[in-house]
């Protein structure tokens, strides 16, 4: 008869084996804090202004514990390519949102249950994978350029199809979109500021709390 300790050891081994199979044959695939990186470590000159680290957002509440942009390393490097492309034009990026915990996604959905603007947390957002970024253009001095709307404008004015805009704003939107697409991002039709890594499906949903990764 097996001892209780031996039975426990066997049970743990079986459990680890099941986890390994579920994650494609390697425990390295399980999401960890290291799954996302601080974008400033990859792009030191990136301007980071996380709107949800302040109360200046559509919820009116502070939802992130620090003003830091976290993305998967793959996505961060693509963002770096977009930044380099814009530098050729004496321009740059300012990011407003990056990785977003799934728990925060649920708060957004409770306030704006409209899949055109907020992803249903049952499916998850690209932001929840660390593979989406909300960004705008800045000049060489870091000043924001004129764009169609403010951030998180849940109206048709924010759509890429909105052509009823001054010529300079249309040009700015096009410059941003072209740089992001060239770097490997896909624009969201309803939000001019939102771009998804074209490899987002390769990454799992995450719910790492900001107060955990902000200490790293």
DSSP letters, 126-174, are: SGGGT-EEEEEEEETTSPBPP-SS-TT--SGGGSTT---S-HHHHHHHH
Q: How far apart are CA 79 and CA 122, in angstroms?
A: 27
Paired tokens of 105: 């996604």
* pLDDT of 6 strictly over 50: no
Overall average pLDDT of the 124-145 stretch: 97
Residue 30 C-alpha from the chain's centroid: 19
74: pLDDT strictly greater than 90: yes
Q: What is the pLDDT of residue 8?
A: 36
User: Are 72 and 35 within 8 A, CB to CB?
Assistant: yes
pTM of the model: 0.82
What's the rounded Cα separation, in Å, for the pair 180 and 194? Answer: 10
What distance in Å separates the CA atoms of residue 134 and residue 50, rounded to the nearest whole number? 9
pLDDT of residue 27: 30
Q: What is the C-alpha to C-alpha distance for residues 68 and 38, in angstroms, rounded to an integer?
A: 7
pLDDT bracket for residue 119 (50, 70, 90): very high
Opening angle at CA 65, ends 51 and 139, nearest 5? 35
The rounded distance, in Å, linking the Cα atoms of 187 and 148 is 15
* Catalytic, out of 73, 144, 191, 199: 191
Any residues with CB less than 8 A from the CB of 189 and at least 6 apart, and which?
159, 160, 161
The string of pLDDT tens digits covering residues 20-35 is 323 233 334 434 444 8
For residue 157, the model assigns a pLDDT of 95
Helix, strand or coil, per DSSP, at residue 55: coil
Q: Report whether pLDDT(13) > 80.
A: no
191 catalytic? Reply is yes
User: Is the model's pLDDT at 10 over the cut of 80?
Assistant: no
């Amino acid at each position: 008869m097996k001892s209780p300790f031996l039975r426990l050891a066997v049970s743990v081994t079986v459990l680890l084996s099941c986890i390994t199979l579920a994650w494609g044959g390697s425990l390295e695939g399980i999401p960890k804090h290291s799954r996302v990186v601080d974008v400033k470590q990859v792009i030191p000159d990136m301007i980071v202004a996380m709107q949800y680290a302040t109360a200046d957002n559509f919820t009116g509440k502070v939802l992130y514990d620090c003003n830091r942009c976290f993305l998967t390393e793959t996505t961060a490097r693509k963002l770096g390519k977009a930044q380099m492309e814009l530098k050729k034009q004496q321009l740059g990026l300012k990011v407003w949102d990056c990785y977003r915990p799934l728990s925060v996604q649920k708060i957004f959905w409770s306030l704006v249950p409209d899949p055109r603007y907020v992803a249903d947390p049952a499916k998850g957002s690209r932001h929840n994978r660390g593979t989406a970024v909300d960004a705008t253009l800045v000049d060489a001095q870091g000043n924001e350029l004129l764009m169609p709307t403010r951030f998180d404008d849940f109206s048709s004015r924010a759509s890429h199809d909105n052509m009823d805009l001054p010529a300079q704003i249309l040009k700015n939107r096009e410059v941003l979109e072209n740089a992001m697409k060239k770097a490997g991002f896909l624009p969201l039709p309803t939000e001019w500021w939102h771009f998804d890594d074209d490899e987002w499906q390769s990454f799992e949903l995450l719910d790492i709390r900001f107060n955990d990764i902000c200490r790293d």
